[in-house]
A and B are shown apart, each in its own frame.
Chain A
Amino acid sequence: MEKLIEILEELQPDVDFNTVENLIDGRYLDSLTILSLVAEIEEEFDVEIPTVEIIPSNFNSAKSIWALIEKLKEQ
């Protein structure tokens, strides 16, 4: 989880990722940043995020992104 926050902060320094819960709907992460994020996560955690999972509810908070990673790891 800390690693994830680190990645996020590197991509978008102005946001407090521990508290914000509308990263997509509040437009903190635009679609191009998402691309970096996905590439970064896949490399770091050795998972593959399918395009189907790229929906706001999976990316609206650090917590939900972490949950997605956990889910993908299990598969």
Chain B
Amino acid sequence: MSYFDPGFIFLAVPILLLIYNLVPKKIRPIILLVFSFGLFIFISKWLVVFLILSILTIYFVANYLDKLNKKRNELINEEPDNKKAIKEKYKKYKKRILILGIIINVSFLFFFKYLNFFATNTNLLLDLFNIDFNFKIMNFLAPIGISFYTLEALSYILDVYYEKIEADKNILRVALYLSFFPQIMEGPIARYSDTAKDLYAGYKVTYNNFCFGYQRILYGFVKKIIIADRLNFLVNTVFDNYHTYSGATILVGVIGYTVMLYMEFSGTMDIVIGIGGFFGVKIKENFRQPFFAKNISEFWTRWHISLGQWFKDYIFYPVSLSKRMKKLTLKARKVLGNRFGPLISGAIALLAVWSLNGLWHGAGYTFLFYGMYQFTLILLGNIFEPTINNTCKKLHINRQNIVYRVFQSVKMTCFVFIGELFFRAPTVKVGFGMLKRIFTSFNLHNTLKSNQLFTLGLDIKDYFIIIVTLVVIFIIVILKEKNHNIRTEISKKNIVIRWMIYYILILSIIIFGAYGPGYIPVDPIYADF
């Protein structure tokens, strides 16, 4: 099942919209909830139990925390002199409840995603010491989107704990927040304060929202059906048998994978945001022209934004601004100065963020390696930033200069390619093997002579279509980066131009889409994480 199934997006969703609009406003959120649970059960069957358990735990934990907050405030009002002591006491209570909530939710995630990884590795260790005991390796299918909704669940109880939001008394609204159907497969990881209220408001689907939604969805289809699905066979073939291909072909496969990932993921986000828009829910953008970033650190604030933001809010700052770390920062600053002092606690927090970020994508050494790779790049970038800045000043290089900016982007993009290479490679060893081949046996001449690039399921016409489509998307991306709101601008044009744009979009998807005999569509990549 994928959001790109025509049966889903052009049949099930319109029927849902129709029913949604016909029923009274109060029932509309219930319709959404039923549809969301229906889809979840359709994909994951009885595993829906775990979603329900998550909903129940965060609902009760949040409300209990709220109760403690109120009690504490009452007590403080009664005896203002004891303020500090009361605060401390209640903080302890609250922490216990919070940790209980976190443990329950994280243990589900651990059970489905990491148990096998740890069992396998423990077995290897046991074998190493000749201990005749092995953990049984079990294969379960995880509930769909567990990595996504677990983070949403945690953010909800943490926000209540920090008193950013109040606990919701309506369990159905909490349920809808966690299970809203366009977000269950690949996110984005929403915050309760961003979507819950609108989700439950039951806004009517207006003509404008309907048109805007489907326009956005069409754009997502262009990315997924024309580009990502077309690259699927090429990427799989190169990564599965890399040793039979020249370095040049491997490079094409690696670039192809990054492009495919970007198109698949951001295309799905277009669909998610489009569907959210139908119901008047503003789901936050998960991509902001990532390849315009100046460095890797900035890249991660533009690619899968919701995940990066989650780690920043709930791991990076809480770790780096904990009492112990603050003391460390102050001490370190006296010794190392303002630039490098905070780097120590920052680096520790960053290490935590990227180990978790890597593991979040899956239990495996490639993902851990991928996380460490990003961590190293970001840390090195930070350490050398002043040096680079000074060097540029001495050499009179203007860092805002367009040439320098292009250089930065190209450099960063190469780092991204290498990162995604390890991300996709079946093992770290294979990753290094591929990297080595790119540098040692590039063989451009032979690659072209033997037409190796055309043995990967794509002919020259396919490459042509990919490049033309990417150029069009690139132009749109540039306009977005320059703060043009393209959809509003299109809607201001006269009807002939507008409709022509839509017709071209639709017909290109139908004619140039990589579907039907001879093509295998990409499975939702992030849904496996």
Contact = CB atoms under 8 A, between A and B. Distances in A.
Chains A and B directly touch (beta carbon < 8 Å): yes
Contacts of B405: none
Interface stretch (B166-174, B261-269, B311-319, B510-518): B311-319
B321 interface: yes
Interface in A33-68: 33, 35-36, 38-40, 42-43, 49-52, 54
Interface string A16-33: 000000000001001111
Nearest to B164: A52
Given A36-B338, A36-B341, A54-B321, A31 B346 contact: yes
A69 B314 CA distance: 22
Contacts of B329: 35-36, 39
A72 interface: no
B333 A51 contact: no
B338 A11 contact: yes
B133 interface: no
Contacts of A36: 329, 333, 338, 341-342
B317 A39 contact: no
Contacts, number: 49
A51 B317 CA distance: 6
A42 B342 CA distance: 14
Nearest to B162: A52
A10 interface: yes
Interface in B274-309: 294, 297-298, 301
B197 interface: no
Interface string B339-366: 0011101100000000000000000000
B9 to A, nearest CB: 33
Contacts of A31: 312, 316-317, 346
B330 A43 contact: yes
Name B's interface SS.
Answer: helix
A36 B328 CA distance: 11
Contact of A35 (B163, B301, B318, B320): B320
Contacts of A42: 326
Contacts of B162: 50-52
Contacts of B330: 39, 43
Contacts of B342: 32-33, 35-36, 39
A38 B321 contact: yes
Contacts of B297: 30
Contacts of B333: 36, 39
Name A's interface SS.
Answer: helix
A29 B52 CA distance: 41
B292 to A, nearest CB: 12
A19 to B, nearest CB: 17
Contacts of A30: 297, 382
Contact of B321 (A10, A11, A35): A35
B353 to A, nearest CB: 10
B338 A51 contact: no
Contacts of B326: 38-39, 42
Nearest to A51: B317
Nearest to A35: B342
A32 B162 CA distance: 22
A13 B346 CA distance: 20
Contacts of B164: 52
A10 B301 CA distance: 25
Contacts of A52: 162-164
Which residue, of A10, A35, A38, has the highest number of chain B Cβ atoms within 10 A?
A35
Contacts of B320: 35
Contacts of A43: 330
A47 to B, nearest CB: 12
Which residue, of A11, A27, A39, A42, has the highest number of chain B Cβ atoms within 10 A?
A39
Given A10-B338, A31-B312, A36-B338, A51 B346 contact: no
B312 A51 contact: no
Given A31-B346, A36-B338, 19 more contacts: A27-B294, A30-B382, A32-B342, A32-B346, A33-B342, A35-B329, A35-B345, A35-B346, A36-B329, A36-B342, A39-B329, A39-B333, A40-B338, A42-B326, A43-B330, A51-B313, A51-B317, A52-B163, A52-B164
The 10 closest A-B CB pairs, nearest first, are A36-B342, A35-B342, A32-B346, A52-B162, A51-B317, A39-B329, A51-B318, A35-B346, A54-B317, A35-B320
25 contacts: A10-B338, A11-B338, A27-B294, A30-B297, A30-B382, A31-B346, A32-B342, A32-B346, A32-B382, A35-B329, A35-B345, A36-B342, A38-B321, A39-B329, A39-B342, A42-B326, A43-B330, A50-B162, A51-B162, A51-B313, A51-B317, A51-B321, A52-B162, A52-B163, A54-B321
